[in-house]
């Protein structure tokens, strides 16, 4: 079947109209700035109340263009009248409810209904514009953060510097160079040759898409000096191309402090070792003559070497007491030396701590009675067993009881115990002279005396609590003291794990 040219033309126009009507983009035709045709998509873009396309026919285009874009519209209309086709142009349109949308469109001269007209294709880009604005704001904030960062930040591609922030310029530059000075320079020029191989390994990881964690390098500054840095690196896209972003900081001073600290620790360990050797030697040298001295004093006191006068007996009693104090000091020094040096081995066994405490209370009972002090225990049943060294734990309990005896003049000592989180908690509460807050931690330091003159009057080596702390910590426990202040008494707490085998 043959079609006439008129029929072919009508068929072509129908196909064109169908395409226009079905287009997702808004398409409108106007003549003398008045709409003569809009498709359904254009009606949806400009209309906000469900208006049909016919609603816009005969209305002025300027009614839907925001006032600050009307001069641009008039200029482009003039160009179209000269036969030009216009590329994408951004406008702000006013919808029928007064709201504004961002749009972009192209326009070209056409003949419509036998008259010169303009066909425009428009698209609502409000959401895209919002996202673009948000992206620009984000990039602006990011760049501001990068520029203000105290860490050096650099971007490079193919080992060539593309960007550095001010902090990076200060870290690498030594002559006041601006960031622009480093652009285009090789990264390798600022890294010590000893670290080139490491950098290549890290670059290989980055090319595989990995982020490289903290890595130490030595950088070479622009004056040739070397600095220690730590850096992280990650793959990024910079100006549309793959690149590496590195964040780094100067740790030269930190490394110097760490080295000095290590040297100090080593030196302190040496001093500690020398001190322990000295204590062990001094204890041995003191113990050697003390043993026969104590033996002779005991013989004299027993009258084995003749009858003594009252004055002689009194002086020998003083000598015996002082020799016992010296023996206690020597024993504490030896114990402390062995504990600090890790030479003291615990002889572990399951111990009934309630029974052990009652045993030590019986041992100290007469001494407390002689001073008119009470010594009581409130130990809950079923405390459990402790895996520990019996003799060492006796030293701890005796030191606490002896301290309470020496530094309490009225009242006495009460001992409580109970379970707490798989531990046995012991409380030794006395009504003694108490402690000020700044002494509570230091009383466990070797030879520390709260009040030297007071200690001399009441006796004490200044090592008992130190030994107690080492013993308790060797049993995976904890010991500490609390006090409300002077003349308020003190409470010593001890935690020991239950059945720690």
- How large a percentage of the chain has pLDDT more than 70? 90
Q: How many domains does the chain have?
A: 4
The single residue listed with the structure tokens 């390798």 is: 188
Residues 285 and 207 in one domain: no
Residues 353 and 424 in one domain: yes
CA–CA dist 475, 470 (Å, integer):
9
pLDDT of residue 458: 55
CB count within 10 Å of CB 435 equals 21
Residues 289 and 182 in one domain: no
Q: How many helices (H) and strands (E) does the chain have?
A: 12, 17
Structure confidence at residue 248 as a pLDDT band (50, 70, 90): very high
Q: Is 117 within the bounds of a domain? A: yes
Residues 246 and 265 in one domain: no
Give the 3-state secondary structure of residue 198.
Answer: helix
Q: Is 155 within the bounds of a domain? A: yes
pLDDT of residue 217: 95
Q: Is 157 within the bounds of a domain? A: yes
Q: Is 131 within the bounds of a domain? A: no
Average pLDDT value for residue range 124-133? 88
Question: Are 93 and 100 in contact, with CB atoms under 8 Å apart?
Answer: yes
Average pLDDT value for residue range 440-458? 67
Domain boundary among 250, 267, 294: 250
Q: Which residue has the higher pLDDT, 133 or 58?
A: 58
pLDDT at 3 over 60: no
pLDDT at 216 over 70: yes
Domain boundary among 310, 340, 370: 340
Q: Is 139 within the bounds of a domain? A: no
Q: Is 143 within the bounds of a domain? A: no
Structure confidence at residue 270 as a pLDDT band (50, 70, 90): confident
Domain boundary among 340, 366, 389: 340
143-157, 185-199, 404-418, 457-471: least confident range:
457-471
215: nearest Cα among 243, 248, 190: 248
The single residue listed with the structure tokens 């002077």 is: 486
The CATH number of whichever domain residue 427 belongs to comes to 3.30.565.10
Task: Tell me how far apart the terminal alpha carbons of the chain are, to the nearest angstrom.
Answer: 105
pLDDT at 420 over 50: yes
pLDDT digits (tens, 9 = 90+) for 279-298: 777 777 777 777 788 788 77
pLDDT of residue 330: 72
pLDDT of residue 501: 41
pTM over 0.85: no
pLDDT of residue 453: 47
Average pLDDT, the chain: 86
pLDDT of residue 28: 93
Residues 359 and 492 in one domain: yes
418: nearest Cα among 393, 383, 388, 387: 383
Residues 469 and 355 in one domain: yes
26-31, strands of its sheet edge to edge: 34-38, 26-31, 115-124, 100-112, 86-94
Segments forming the whole domain that contains residue 245: 149-250
pLDDT of residue 382: 77
Average pLDDT value for residue range 291-315? 80
Residues 331 and 444 in one domain: no
Average pLDDT value for residue range 106-110? 92
């Amino acid at each position: 079947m043959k079609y006439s040219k008129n029929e072919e033309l009508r068929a072509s126009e129908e196909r064109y109209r169908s395409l226009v009507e079905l287009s997702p983009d808004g398409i409108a035709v106007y003549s003398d700035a008045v709409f003569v045709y809009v498709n359904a998509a254009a009606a949806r873009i400009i209309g906000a109340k469900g208006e049909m396309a016919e609603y816009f026919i005969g209305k002025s285009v300027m009614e839907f263009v925001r006032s600050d874009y009307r001069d641009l519209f008039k200029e482009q209309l003039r160009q179209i009248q000269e036969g030009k086709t216009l590329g994408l142009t951004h406008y702000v349109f006013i919808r029928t409810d007064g709201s504004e949308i961002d749009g972009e469109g192209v326009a070209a001269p056409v003949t419509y209904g036998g008259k010169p007209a303009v066909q425009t294709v428009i698209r609502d880009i409000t959401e895209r514009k919002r996202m673009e604005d948000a992206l620009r704001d984000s990039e602006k904030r990011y760049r501001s953060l990068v520029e203000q960062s105290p860490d050096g930040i650099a971007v490079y591609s193919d080992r060539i510097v593309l960007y550095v922030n001010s902090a990076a310029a200060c870290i690498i530059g030594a002559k006041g160079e601006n960031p622009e000075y480093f652009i285009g320079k090789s990264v390798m020029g600022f890294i010590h040759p000893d670290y080139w191989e490491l950098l290549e390994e890290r670059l290989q990881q980055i090319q595989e898409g990995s982020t490289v964690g903290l890595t130490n390098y030595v950088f070479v500054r622009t004056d040739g000096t070397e600095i220690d840095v730590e850096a992280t690196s990650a793959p990024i896209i910079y100006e549309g191309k793959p690149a590496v972003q590195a964040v780094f900081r100067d740790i030269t001073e930190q490394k110097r402090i760490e080295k000095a600290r290590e040297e100090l620790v080593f030196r302190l360990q040496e001093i500690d070792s020398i001190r322990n050797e000295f204590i062990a030697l001094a204890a041995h040298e003191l113990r050697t003559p003390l043993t026969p001295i104590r033996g002779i004093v005991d013989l004299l006191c027993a009258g084995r070497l003749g009858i003594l006068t009252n004055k002689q007996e009194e002086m020998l009693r003083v000598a015996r007491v002082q020799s016992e104090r010296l023996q206690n000091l020597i024993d504490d020094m030896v114990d402390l030396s062995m504990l600090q040096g890790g030479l003291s081995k615990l002889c572990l066994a399951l111990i009934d701590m309630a029974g052990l405490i009652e045993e030590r209370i019986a041992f100290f009972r007469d001494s407390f009675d002689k001073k008119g002090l009470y010594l009581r225990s409130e130990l809950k049943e079923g405390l459990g067993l402790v895996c520990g060294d019996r003799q060492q734990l006796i030293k701890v309990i005796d030191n606490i009881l002896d301290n309470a005896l020496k530094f309490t003049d009225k009242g006495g000592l009460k001992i409580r115990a109970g379970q707490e989180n798989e531990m046995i908690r012991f409380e030794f509460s006395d009504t003694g002279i108490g402690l000020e807050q700044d002494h509570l931690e230091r009383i466990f330091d070797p030879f520390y005396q709260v009040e030297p003159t007071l200690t001399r009057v009441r006796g004490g080596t200044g090592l008992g609590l130190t030994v107690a702390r080492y013993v308790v910590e060797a049993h995976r426990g904890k010991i500490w003291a609390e006090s409300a202040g002077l003349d308020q008494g003190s409470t010593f707490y001890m935690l020991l794990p239950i059945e720690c085998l």
